[in-house]
Amino acid sequence: MRLILVILLLAISIPACARHYWALQTASDICVWTPASAAQGAADRAQDILDEIRAYWIPGPLPSECTFSQTSPFAIFLAQPEAPLTTLAIYSDQETMARDLDRFDVWGLTMPTQLADGTWAPRSDLFQRLPDGASIDSQSILFLSCERRDTWERCAAHELVHALQLAQWDVDFDGWPRQLFRILQEGAARHTEYLLAGLDRFDLRTAGPVALWLAKGNDLATAPEFLLYEIGASLVNAILRRISPAHFWAIFSGPCRSGILHLALGIRPSFGSAVRAACGMSWDALVEAWRVQAAAMTPVDGSHHVYRWLQDAFSLRASLLEPLLSGDERDCGRMLGEAVYDGAAEDAWLDEVDASYRNAFAEPTPEVLEALHEREATLIDYARERAGAVQEVADVLRLGIVARRDGTSTDKYVHRFVEVVNAFIPLAVQQPIPERDP
Ligand SMILES: [Zn+2]
């Protein structure tokens, strides 16, 4: 169902003091917030991407058991207007988005707007940029940065799949490892990037690293976070060689693609039986068939560089250390990433960038100290919560408080921050995929 979006009551006059005023763009069932200059035509482009995603994944019209006549008691029960699918907050720079989200580990993020008590929510800074009267009235909110214009549409495609999953996936997953659900969610999103958003080199980016990982005797039960997307894409790719995208989607969405409808009708299928009905085999048999085939792949040249890039968390370390890197060092890291995914990197280049991260240092000005402070929540999440560096992180936080309070021990804070990032961030991403959602 397409909706004409008339949700945000927007004052025509722009307050003179609103330095961070964001513009609103709407399309048929999405809304976009963005700095006025950031992404012209973003809503229309995002809507086109969403339409392509729907056409690819989503089965045709709802079956008759999921629709009701106007006079049915079910129709009266369900008669709330359906909110638009999602609101996209598209940032013009990565740093502002990361600060709003208090997370330096994401390049896009989708979350439901109906948050349970105690769950995380974006900082109020975001809402202060919006015009008076703006409200979020959509099923989810989606964050991404268009700082790199060549990738925002790809990132949008990935996140829009998550927005549809949030709205429609309702399979009964009780008794199955939560990590498995995440692998399949991310796998479907990454598969979409390959198919509809111009991501290339499945052989180098996905198949090669997964084959290297399987060759070490690993299996899904111990899948590490650094390979979450690639294992997911490999697995989803294998499943889609057996069944259509629409059948794959139906495993997770059930027949009615709505939790409320399934609840009302009492027809929510379990994951195991849905897989068997769609694929004609058990989940375990499906996984085994994937494992044998994926492990038999000969990794293409450069696969071990992608593997190392991911395992040693080069991107996340660069994000955490960015305030301490020179322009040249940042450029080197970015170019290395491009070379890795072109299959053109060399060990020595990875060593060189790794060394620049280990030796990162900048004059600890108030701006640098503030930028590191912003990154501490991510450091806590990874180094303390996932890698167990309780004492080391406490040490960094204590030094940071002292450095910002009276300007002493600033060099020591910077050095300790760098040490903990390099010692524990790679260790954190090598841990099994966390159960919780990203
Ligand atoms: Zn994702």
pLDDT one-digit tens code per residue, 273-311: 999 999 999 999 999 999 999 999 999 999 999 999 999
CA of 188 from ligand 1 middle (Å) equals 9
- Residue 73's pLDDT band, with cuts at 50, 70 and 90, is confident
- pLDDT of 2: 33
Domains of the chain in sequence order:
1-168 (3.40.30), 170-304 (no CATH), 312-429 (no CATH)
Residue 160 scores a pLDDT above 70: yes
pTM over 0.85: yes
Give 14 or 261, the one with higher predicted confidence: 261
CA of 159 from ligand 1 middle (Å) equals 6
Q: How many Å apart are CA 149 and CA 136, to the nearest integer?
A: 26
Q: How many Å apart are CA 384 and CA 425, to the nearest integer?
A: 9
**SS3 state at 305:** helix
Q: Name the token pair of 387.
A: 């890698």
> pLDDT digit string (tens) for 312-368?
999 999 999 999 999 999 999 999 999 999 999 999 999 999 999 999 999 999 999
CA of 326 from ligand 1 middle (Å) equals 30
Q: How many Å apart are CA 223 and CA 128, to the nearest integer?
A: 40
Q: What are the φ and ψ backbone dihedral angles of 176, each rounded to 5 degrees?
A: -100, 150
CA of 217 from ligand 1 middle (Å) equals 26
CA of 240 from ligand 1 middle (Å) equals 19
Q: How many Å apart are CA 192 and CA 157, to the nearest integer?
A: 7
Give 83 or 376, the one with higher predicted confidence: 376
Whole-number CA gyration radius for the chain: 23
CA of 163 from ligand 1 middle (Å) equals 10
Give 148 or 389, the one with higher predicted confidence: 389
Q: Name the token pair of 111.
A: 């979350």
CA of 238 from ligand 1 middle (Å) equals 19
In this prediction, what percent of the chain has a pLDDT beyond 90? 65
- pLDDT of 68: 76
Residue 9 scores a pLDDT above 50: no
- Residue 81's pLDDT band, with cuts at 50, 70 and 90, is low
- pLDDT of 174: 86
Strand pairing class (108-112; 140-145): antiparallel
Across the chain, mean pLDDT equals 88
CA of 194 from ligand 1 middle (Å) equals 13
Q: Name the token pair of 219.
A: 């299996």
- pLDDT of 181: 94
Q: Which of 171, 120, 117, 118 is nearest to 143 (CA)?
A: 120
Q: Which of 358, 427, 363, 366 is nearest to 400 (CA)?
A: 366
CA of 370 from ligand 1 middle (Å) equals 29
CA of 161 from ligand 1 middle (Å) equals 8
CB 260 within 8 A of CB 249: no
- Residue 437's pLDDT band, with cuts at 50, 70 and 90, is low
CA of 29 from ligand 1 middle (Å) equals 21
- pLDDT of 64: 86
CA of 311 from ligand 1 middle (Å) equals 18
